[in-house]
Structure 1
Amino acid sequence: MTAPLLTRQQHCPRPALRLLGTLPFTQARLHEGCGPARHSLAALLIGATRGPVLWITPAWATDRLNPEGACPLTGPDNGPDRLLFATPQRREDLLWCMEEALRSGATPLVIADLPAPPGLTPVRRLHLAAEEGATRGHHRPLGLILTPGNGGAPGVESRWHMAPAHDLDTDRWHLERRRARDAPPAAWHLSGQPGAWALKQT
């Protein structure tokens, strides 16, 4: 007898990190951040986690994250001492470092600032590494790749685009969920500061 295609069992949502208390980022999976404010998106995710964060960036990159400069987005309880930096010399080592970090489960968030979106096979390997890390480490690691332009890495769990929309008196951003396995595309205006964020769907 074959198993029925439909059952009455409830669907159990997968564990997720809630960015700004609302926006779900499924844990033990790989997500993509793109757009001119993608580093700000990464800083917001850092503020939503607890524990060390690994930030991977090419050794040849000229624009690197200033940990103290990220504090206005991560919040006062998330000092620069939480950030660990890896700067591989070779392009192929960027994803290797990320894969090994996710597989260890030693940190809740692994961020890789990439010069271009990876292909489908590396993305699948990173998903598998994050899932393995959730079973062997202290955390259910979330992977975030930062890609230039509009991104486009195939097979990611979700893709987010963030761009500045500041005016004279207010820091404001436009945040879009362009792709997600468990949620439709959507967009928001974000303003405020840690502990007092205002998120308005557009």
Structure 2
Amino acid sequence: MTALARIPRPASAITGPLALASGRLHEGCGPARHTWAMLVAGALAGPVLWIAPAWATDRPEPCGFARFAEPGRFLFVTPDHRPDLLWCMEEALRSGAAPLVVADLPGLPGLTPVRRLHLAAEEGGSRAAQPPLGLILTPGEGGAPGVQSRWHMAPAHLPHADRWHLARRRDRSAPPADWHLSGHPSAWAFNKM
């Protein structure tokens, strides 16, 4: 266990059982990973920096996520080169200027970049009232090494109702768990599976 893993972290209560340690990097995966990130963004205040590759075709559409979070809070950054995605995230976390920094990645980062992002978020916490929260969105089932927590979200829609399956697959401070998530941003309902 590393020294970083042993330090107790204040958690940002997002909604229901979804709590994320501040000043750390968390992973969202699954087909509804963008919805998960919007759920987190909607629960926090302040600007959101969203980093995605310039060549990506599945960027968030403001009309689609307006029910989760105010679109005017988002600043979108679209680097042309793959290494610049993590560089942008590292610099944003280090600055502490945005309480939430999201990077939509085309693949899994290695352990060294993840550790650098943790350190950058900690440093950003010394420059801001609240340490920034870092979210990486990874394709498929995820699996980035060294993240504080890994969350998988997938649609489980019913006729005339939005519903998702949310799973905490890994967390350094809580066991794996599964929920059905339904409702809307001001009234989410979590039903443990």
TM-score bucket (shorter structure):
over 0.9
Q: Deviations over 1:103-161 (max 9, x none)?
A: 00011100000000100000000000000000123431000000000000000000000
Cα-to-partner distance string for 1:155-199 (whole Å, 9 max, x where unaligned): 000000000000112110000000000000000000001111111
Contact residue 180 and residue 191 of structure 2 kept, 8 A: yes
| Identity within the alignment, % | 68
Does residue 171 of structure 2 align to residue 171 of structure 1? no
Separation (CA, whole Å) in 2 of partners of 1:106 and 1:116: 26
Match of 1:56 among 51, 60, 69: 51
1:69 to 43, 64, 67: 64
1:35-87 per-residue CA deviation (whole Å, 9 max, x = no partner) reads: 00000000000011100000000001111111221122x2xxx4211000100
Deviates more, 1:23-32 or 1:136-145: 136-145
Give the secondary structure class of the aligned counterpart of 2:35.
helix
TM-score, normalisation: structure 2: 0.94
**Whole-Å separation in 2 of the counterparts to 1:110 and 1:116:** 17
- Number of corresponding residues: 188
Give distance in 2, aligned partners of 1:28 and 1:58: 24
Partner SS, residue 47 of structure 1: helix
TM-score (norm 1): 0.90
Alignment partner of 1:197 is 2:192: no
Match of 1:118 in 2: 109
Matched with 2:20 is 25
Partners of 1:103 and 1:129 within 8 A in 2: yes
1:13, CA displacement in angstroms?
5.3
Q: In structure 2, what is the equivalent of residue 5 of structure 1?
A: none
- 8 Å CA contact 2:93, 2:134 repeated in 1: yes
- Select the structure of larger CA radius of gyration: 1
Letter in structure 1 aligned against 2:20: F
What is the one-letter code of the residue matched to 1:124? R
Match of 1:137 among 121, 125, 128: 128
Unpaired runs of at least 5, structure 2 = 1-6
RMSD: 1.4
